[in-house]
Amino acid sequence: MAMAMRMATAVALAMSDARAYLSRTATAEGQPMTERKFETKPLAVPSSRISRFAKLSGLGANIAGSVAAEGAKQLARGQRPNMGALLMTPANARKVADKLAQMRGAAMKVGQLMSMDAGDMLPPELADILARLRAEAHHMPGQQLKKVLTTAWGSDWLKRFKKFEVRPLAAASIGQVHRAQTRDGRDLAIKVQYPGVRRSIDSDVDNVAGLMRFAGLVPKGLDITPMILEAKRQLHEEADYEREGEYLDLFGKLLKDRPEFRVPELHADFTTREVLAMSYIEAKPIEVLEDASQEERNRVMRLIIELIFDELFVFRLMQTDPNFANFRYDPETGQIILLDFGATRAFDEDFAERYRTLLRAGLADDHVGIRAAAREIGFLSEDMPEALEDQMLSMFLMSLEPLRHDGEFDFGANDLALRMRDAGMAMSEQREHMRIPPMDTLFLQRKFGGVYLLATKMGARINLRELIQKHI
């Protein structure tokens, strides 16, 4: 459980797609195409398995060479080289981060997952370097973009558009987003998948995991096999844009009577497995609310937290990516715009009921009930030392403080995050007994942790006990 909570906290830190704007205009095949300034440079995505493997192999050889050279220097000085210290250097971590950012796709995504899920177990300077993968992504050059869209839509696709912005609004690990206006008057946001992503997922994940192990970026006591299997499963789902489109459409229907929220409309005629078309919605990053009134910050965060509880206990369907960029805000209407449903996950009724049981016991301060429910969910294992189990249960009770608080909990004026971090770091000393929790639980805790950090960033004050009571 502690691992899940620390993972949740790390995952939510500063995960955002790069966004910016560009002023100049270009044309393609006689059609007007506007461009916006993007913070990163265009860089072709290696699309074949051989080219992707070669880049990672070259990186491994580069790291091995730097280790050998530095080790020889230490021997010449009469020092005994420490292999772990030679591998786990900021320079090597920077090489890994740079290469994964160039490759994008599953290689970059698994690097993000590793930095998120084990970030607090790495030396701070290494965690900071790898964290760049959560905020940086290069974009495809125009010719590569054109080739992808021609494969998806046919050679005359540009004739269907009045305007298509070549430079993306956003670029991430699997794809990039462009704004376009169709000839029939639709204003669209079009997500285009990088070439070769789907077919290279399994090999990318295996190769990057091997590289991470070789480079000493995975703690020895941590079994990352469940994480690797889950990364493959999740990436195959996220790389299917038709699937994401179905969830986009479903969430729009689930929230159609909730005017506080707005979900882009799916445009199925432009959607394929590699391209997702949806209505473009003008909105601001959710962070603009930091300058809003206390009342408005409270209202928005209350709605977002209510939505999480509804996703778990009512819809049993959750968008599990805690990226702040997946929430946008319209200052004119006060609406919250929800984006990116590639990481949507369904939970069965038994799973939701186990969480109800755990929360009931926690709110009642029933330590026997908490221990039983935590074992049922899979937070605690049979071979876990009693002292570590007690620490984890204590940490769980700590995490419930916002829900147990009588009245409004002030996210901006408490030290809970620091105490949780310190408790997690103390337990990391017993990492040989740590286990990655069930994956459903991991993704749920990750979303909770992300929204907690967003509420803290907003300095929101919310009566959480009141919100959760109707569900348990």
Looking at the annotation, which residues are catalytic?
321
For residue 391, what is the enclosing H or E element? helix 386-399
Q: b or e along 37-49 (b: 16 or more beta carbons within 10 Å of the residue's beta carbon)? A: ebeeebbebbbee
Residue 203 contacts residue 50 (beta carbons within 8 Å): no
Give CA–CA dist 465/260, Å, rounded: 22
Q: What is the DSSP letter of 236?
A: H
Helices (H), 104-254: 105-117, 124-130, 142-153, 201-214, 225-238, 241-254
Length of the chain: 472
Cβ neighbours for 63, distance < 8 A, ≥ 6 positions apart:
87, 92, 95, 96, 214, 215
Residue 30 contacts residue 180 (beta carbons within 8 Å): no
- 3-class secondary structure, 201: helix
Q: For residue 329, how far is the Cα from the chain centroid?
A: 19
- 3-class secondary structure, 27: strand
**23-to-20, 254, 325 alpha-carbon distances in Å:** 10, 38, 23
Residue 130 contacts residue 93 (beta carbons within 8 Å): yes
